[in-house]
A and B are shown apart, each in its own frame.
Chain A
Amino acid sequence: MSTPEPLMQIMGLRVEVRGVPILRGVDMEFERGKVYAVLGPNASGKSTLAKTVMGLPEYEVKGGDILFEGDSILDKSITERARMGIAYAFQTPPTIPGVTLEEFICRICPEYLCRTSEDYLMAEQCTCRKELYDDFDRLGIGNLAGRDLNDGFSGGEMKRSELFQVLSMRPKIMFLDEPDSGLDYDSLKIVGRELRAIREEKSTTMVVISHHRYILEFLEVDKVYILQNGRVVYTGDMSVIPELEEKGYERFLAETAATT
């Protein structure tokens, strides 16, 4: 029987940061249009996984492979990976002074046409200003449009700005690093609705790193991976989430280890 080839396959991935092993042989598969949760205790290697997929240079691959649409991407640059359709919403993005969020969104979104015109676009030349501002408003961050990228953004604003940027790239797969942390109830609903709509379109594979039950249940994730100390220690469906929440990682993982 032939199953369709997964969009991304991570095979035996071992990663070091400055000589310290962080990922110790990770296997995961992500199919087109599906939603995944990557869970695990703090410092288990979740962000490291996403950053390695994105190709950030301090994350050194020591073994294994990452296949995207069947081919290894290990020798691809960050830019190439982004242009192939891989996106990562940062957990803590850096500030870029002097570059406004609106002009940056215009710069990276293939649909806001000014992207193609030149390197130095100006938001006021954007041919899709209305759409742009509608999108800003839908995410409830219209106030950030003219602000410098990540400069003084609140925790919740940062999350929505990251999400907006990543969505603007129209990626094939996106790794969302705690898109729900620091959000108030209303913002959480906004983000949830946004992601839910994407799920329904099935055009983008979503890998959600999270510590909270709400967003995962709202999105009805298809599959859950739990990382611990740089290894996948549990693979299953979302029915484990309530139990996980109740017991915490330590007890949950100890018990599952005992029963298998």
Chain B
Amino acid sequence: MADSDDIKERARRALDRPSVFGDDLDLSEYRVEETEERRLDVKELTDEDRMLLEEVGFDVGQRSVAGSFMQFDNESVLADVMIKQEGLEVLPTRRALEKYDWLEDYLWRAVPVDADKYTALSELHGYDGYFIRAEEGAKIEMPVQTCLVIKKGRSIQNVHNIVIAEQGAELHIVTGCATPSHVERALHLGISEFYVKRDARLTFTMVHKWNEAVDVRPRTGVMVDTNGVYVSSYAILSPVKSLQTYPKVHLVGRNARADLYTVVYGTGTSKYDVGGLLSLEARGTRGKVISRTIATDQSQIIARGELQGRVNGVRARLECNGLLLSDSAGIRAVPILDASAEGVELSHEATVGKVGADQLNYLMSRGLTEDEATSLIVRGFMHLKAPDLPPRLQKAIDDAVRMTLEKGL
């Protein structure tokens, strides 16, 4: 394992390295604030904060969650684990690093610190974030909820999350990121490193609500071990200045599996560059990368997906489907299949189009107006069935989609 001086050095060398995808941001335009830890009771939340949290599905009452974590700007605020759940730990990352020496080994392993200027900046300017761990064999059935809120303008929210599902564990995380609409110009930098050990299951559900002034650069890496399962569902339904994310999932153990679902509802002049990469590195690994994108107004969406088959006997599928609802919007689907071994089975389907006249006429002939028919078709299009997701979390996504469409169309 590289020591921390070496990591710092690698980060420094990468500070000017632009990301492969997405607009190159000038990081000197933002303030990087000191992170601090402060405990806050959910009861102290203002009404505005409460509403914001609820919009991204955060259960402020914490009735049916296993644990909660909130972070406002760079102040991390830990709401206590309400339902005492055996085998679950939720801590701010920095505190976890102080508590556990071994955690160093997980830092910058799934995401390289010198990937680009964002990872570099994150390392060099001090971060916080959440550390969530399900111990060996622990089945945490209720979701752990996390929420990251940006309230200060011209700033960078710098988050580094580490999630570990130990051998045989089951863990569901639902996370919402939010910004009130009055915040001007901010950058959310989120490093997430997920480790799914042998026979473990991790689901990660994200519902995000940014605004037109926020640039978002998550950097996510996932390692899935033998028989492990990782499922992520990512819904971005609000405008954003720009979002560029390209999680990389490494299926490193035999029969490991990962499904990545992305739903984008593009509005305003937002630019979204989304997708994911699945690297199938061990025999019997399989997975899906599925995206449904809707572009309205002048939004621009790039939906990427990449499957890399590295050994014999792996199978994966890619679907990028886009629906264009405006003449000034754009969608580009970029599917990549990359096989470097015999017996690799990779497939893809990519479509971009507008709402079909046949579908519209059909629904209208049953008495729906054109707008009603359109929104029903769009909602159906955005409905992603993720069979591995607990019904409650599937519903959280469905509800978010429904709310967006009620407002949007």
Contact = CB atoms under 8 A, between A and B. Distances in A.
Interface of A: 54-57, 77-79, 81-83, 87-88, 90, 93-94, 96-99, 104, 107-108, 119-120, 148, 165, 169
B359 interface: yes
A98 B375 contact: no
Contacts of B101: none
A120 B368 CA distance: 12
A95 B370 CA distance: 17
Interface in B359-386: 359, 361-370, 372, 375-377, 379-383
Interface residues on B, range: 20 to 34
Given A82-B365, A165-B366, A97 B381 contact: yes
A79 B405 contact: no
Contacts of B405: 120
A74 to B, nearest CB: 16
B358 interface: yes
Given A94-B358, A120-B379, 14 more contacts: A54-B365, A56-B365, A57-B357, A78-B365, A81-B365, A87-B365, A96-B362, A96-B376, A97-B383, A104-B366, A107-B368, A107-B376, A108-B366, A120-B406
Nearest to A115: B367
B343 interface: no
B390 interface: no
Contacts of A83: 367
B61 interface: no
10 contacts: A54-B365, A78-B361, A78-B365, A87-B365, A94-B356, A96-B359, A96-B380, A97-B381, A99-B377, A104-B366
A79 B370 contact: yes
Interface of B: 356-359, 361-370, 372, 375-377, 379-383, 402, 405-406
Given A119-B372, A119-B406, A120-B405, A98 B364 contact: no
B370 to A, nearest CB: 7
A94 B381 CA distance: 14
Contact of A96 (B357, B363, B372): B363
What are the nearest 4 A-B pairs in CB distance? A98-B380, A98-B383, A82-B367, A99-B380
Given A56-B361, A120-B406, A79 B367 contact: yes
Nearest to B403: A120
A88 B366 CA distance: 8
Contact of A108 (B357, B367, B381): B367
Contacts of B382: 98
Contacts of B372: 119
A78 B364 contact: yes
A57 B359 CA distance: 13
Contacts of A78: 361, 364-365
A169 B377 CA distance: 19
A167 to B, nearest CB: 11
Contacts of A108: 366-368
Contacts of A98: 379-383
A84 to B, nearest CB: 10
A148 to B, nearest CB: 7
A56 B365 CA distance: 8
Contacts of B356: 94
A169 B362 contact: no
Nearest to A82: B367
A174 to B, nearest CB: 11
Contacts of A169: 366-367
A82 B367 CA distance: 5
Nearest to B367: A82
A115 to B, nearest CB: 9
B279 to A, nearest CB: 29
Nearest to B406: A120
Q: Which residue, B359, B365, B382, has most C-beta atoms of chain A within 10 A?
A: B365
B15 to A, nearest CB: 44
B381 A119 contact: no
A169 B366 CA distance: 7
Contacts of B381: 97-98
A169 B365 CA distance: 10
Nearest to B375: A119
Contact of A79 (B357, B359, B368, B383): B368
Contacts of A90: 362, 365
B387 to A, nearest CB: 14
Nearest to B321: A97
Contacts of A119: 372, 375-376, 406
A87 B368 CA distance: 12
Contacts of B361: 56-57, 78
Contacts of B376: 96, 99, 107, 119
A81 B367 CA distance: 8
Given A57-B357, A79-B369, A99 B362 contact: no
Contact of B380 (A77, A148, A165): A148
Nearest to A168: B366
A79 B376 CA distance: 15
Contact of B364 (A79, A99, A120): A79
Contacts of B362: 90, 93-94, 96
Nearest to B377: A96
Contacts of B369: 79
A83 B375 CA distance: 19
Contacts of B365: 54-56, 78, 81-82, 87-88, 90
Contacts of B383: 97-99
A82 B402 CA distance: 26
A55 B364 CA distance: 10
A117 to B, nearest CB: 13
A78 B407 CA distance: 25
A82 B360 CA distance: 13
A117 B204 CA distance: 33
Contacts of A107: 366, 368, 376
